[in-house]
Every structure is written in structure tokens, then in C-alpha cells.
Structure 1
Amino acid sequence: MSGQAEALQSDQRPLVVGIGGTIGAISSTERALRIALDAAGEQGFRTRLFGGADMAKLPLYDPKASERTAEEREFVDAVRGASALIIASPGYHGSISGVVKNALDLLEETARDPDRAYLADMPVGLIATAYGWQATGSTIAALRSIVHALRGWPTPFAAAINSAVTKFDDEGGASDPAVVEQLRLIGQQVARFAPLVKAG
């Protein structure tokens, strides 16, 4: 178990887990996700980010594998303990990225959990980034379909960000203040709805 995971276990505040990013350098998607998570944190929640570097450590999901890696177990355990999720994906060829889909496929491990299968009754915020508006819309639609299939509740607002127009910085900001407010709304909405459900 990582030091971050141990610290989270000792903190009894409800947890919001963020999933998103790309393999390689920290991306616009991951920066957008961090803004949303920070907004949830301001509402009294602890947060855990699984970014591109974390997802790169997850092997391709094999439903018949007899054992899971330490990284797979840490990811699934974090989602099991979460009161809400925020999922952020870049738009690749009109849909979500492979690394985000692979991480979500791993949630099949929760299918038979007695207290909460999959994301049942969990609020889930959605963020899509792409170089163009068309891909952001189709990526949000794909994310909504996946969350519904996993029995979760997509929050009313989803953030679609055209990264050809909006640029993020290393300090946690963006070139368009309206985009920052949209991302903060994602975090605020999952925080608002999370107390209505109990983590498994």
C-alpha cells in the first residue's frame, strides 16, 4: 500500500476519487481533473487522484486473472471506499481513451460486492477534453453511457473543454476563467450529492 493510500485510510472524511489523464507528461485532462477535485476538497472531502502515471501501471484488464497487481488492488480499493467519483478523459477518435477505459474495466472486480456493486448510487462527475468541440460531446456521451452501465449517477453538469482554445498552467489555473468555474462546479456537485449515499 502506498503512503498516500495509508494516509487516506487514517482520514475519516468522505472520499472523492478522480480518474483521468494520459500516459506521459501531465496533460490538460489531468490538470482539469485536479481543479475539480480541489473544489470537492474545499467542501470537506478528502481526494485521491489516479492520473496518467497511475493508470499506466495498470495492466490490460484480464477478467480471468487469478491475481491482481498491487496497483490494481489499490485502485479498486480506493473506488470501493469512495463516496463519489470524477472521471476525466481526453477525446480520442470520438470516444474515451484506452487507459481510462482500461481503468474502468477493472471495476468489474466490484461486481459481486455485497454492499455496493460497481458504482451503484454513486454520484459521478464527468470531464472531457479534446482539440475540438465535436470530440468533447461524443466523449461525454460515452462516459455517461459507461457510468449508467456501472449503475452510477452522472451529475447534472459535465464539463466539455476544447483544449485548442483553453490552456492550463502548472499553478492549477486555466486561460479561461469560465472553464475553471465549470470544473469547480463538477467538484461542488459531486460533493453536494455524495452525502446522500453511503460508500460500501
Structure 2
Amino acid sequence: MRQLNIVGIGGTAKPSSSTEAALRLALDAAGAAGARTRLFGGGELALLPHYLTPAAADDAIGRALVDAVRGADAVLIASPGYHGSVSGIVKNALDYLEETARDARPYLDGLPVGLIVTAYGWQATGSTLATLRAIVHALRGWPTPLGVTVNSSQCRFADDGCSDPAIAAQLALVGQQLVDFAKLRRSAATDA
């Protein structure tokens, strides 16, 4: 049986962002559960031209992102909450999925999608998570039951993990949910 592919999209332009660290922890959990993971972090996303500019169609990172999502069994999206919503670089990356509109499986159709939001305070986490869920629904994806919100003023990330054991457990759980739902989806497709 082919190994599951999970694509992570997110982070900020700032190196070592809490958003990207949280995304990495969730992807690590998916990897520990047997999935192959690919991360498109903030550094790559910051280099993407605005979607629909002439350079966007020929952008190597944009092509790699779209190709990875085309081959994905699940997707994990992490965004900082900027002014109550999704960051520009994460939204721009998701706009690149328009390239899949005419595919046999357009957008995120039928894919489990995990969501993570970080913000310096609680106010932006809820609205940003709701926005991400709306975007995923518009792209025909299935948000996982758990969406993780992290108040980065109270939680720190380092090489060895997360300072808050409850947040670390939630990040691991969303990674595990992606693997579980991707396996269920694959099983249902082979039974049909």
C-alpha cells in the first residue's frame, strides 16, 4: 500500500515563527503515524509571487506546492492570526490551488484538512480559525474535528517542542486525525 502523503502549508516570513513550529510538531505526529510529510513553510511562502501575476504561473515554489497538493492524501494549514484573519502569505499560497480547478480532484475535494492558528492573544485565534474553515469548505475540503488555536503570548516553542503540554497534545492529535481520516478515505475508495 502506498504511504500517505500529508502536505503542510503555513508559517510566517519570520524565521522560527511559532506558527511554523506548531505546524512542524503536528506534521511530526503525522510522520510518526506513518505518513510522509512535506512542509511549505513561511520562508517558501514569502517567496511566492502574488497569485495570477505573470510570474506566478512559472514560479518553481508555486508549481511544487500545487503538485504536492495534487498528490496529497491530507493537508495541514497553519496561519498566524493577523488583525483577526489569515495572513497574506498563507492566503496567497491557498490561492495557488486554483491551478487544480480543472483536475479530476479539484482543489481540496474530499481531503481531510487540519487547521492551526497562532496569535499573540486569544482574540484573533477564533476568527482566524473560522476563516480557515470557511476557506477549506470553499475548496471542498473536510476540516478535521479539532482545530488547534495557540496563544503565543502564553506558549513557547523550541527545538525540543512546546512549553504547554496541552497544546503539544492537541498538535499531535490533529496530526493523528489527518492520518486516521486519510486512511478511512482511502479504505472507502478501495471498497467502492
State whether TM-score is above 0.5. yes
- 1-side partners of 2:124 and 2:57: how far apart? 36
Residue 136 of structure 1: aligned partner:
125
- 1-side partners of 2:56 and 2:12: how far apart? 28
The gaps in structure 1 that reach 5 residues or longer are 1-11
Which runs of at least 4 in structure 1 moved beyond 2 Å after TM superposition? 63-68, 196-199
Query: Aligned match of 2:42 in 52, 76, 93?
Result: 52
- For the aligned residues, what is the CA RMSD? 1.6
- 2-side partners of 1:67 and 1:75: how far apart? 12
Query: Aligned match of 1:30 in 11, 14, 20?
Result: 20
User: What is the percentage of aligned positions where both structures have the same residue?
Assistant: 63
Residue 5 of structure 1: aligned partner:
none
- 2-side partners of 1:24 and 1:37: how far apart? 19
Q: Shift of residue 57 of structure 1?
A: 1.8
Q: Does the 8 A contact of 1:26 with 1:52 survive in 2?
A: no
Q: Shift of residue 63 of structure 1?
A: 6.8
Residue 88 of structure 1: aligned partner:
78
Does 2:153 correspond to 1:164?
yes
Query: Aligned match of 2:172 in 176, 180, 184?
Result: 184
- 1-side partners of 2:55 and 2:16: how far apart? 30
TM-score (normalizing by structure 2): 0.93
Query: Aligned match of 1:194 in 182, 186, 190?
Result: 182
Q: SS of the residue aligned with 1:54?
A: helix
Query: Aligned match of 1:78 in 63, 68, 71?
Result: 68
The gaps in structure 2 that reach 5 residues or longer are none
Q: How many residues align?
A: 186
Q: SS of the residue aligned with 1:67?
A: helix
Q: Does the 8 A contact of 1:36 with 1:186 survive in 2?
A: yes
- 2-side partners of 1:150 and 1:34: how far apart? 23
* Counterpart mapping for 1:82-121 below 5 A: 82-114=72-104, 116-121=105-110
TM-score (normalizing by structure 1): 0.89
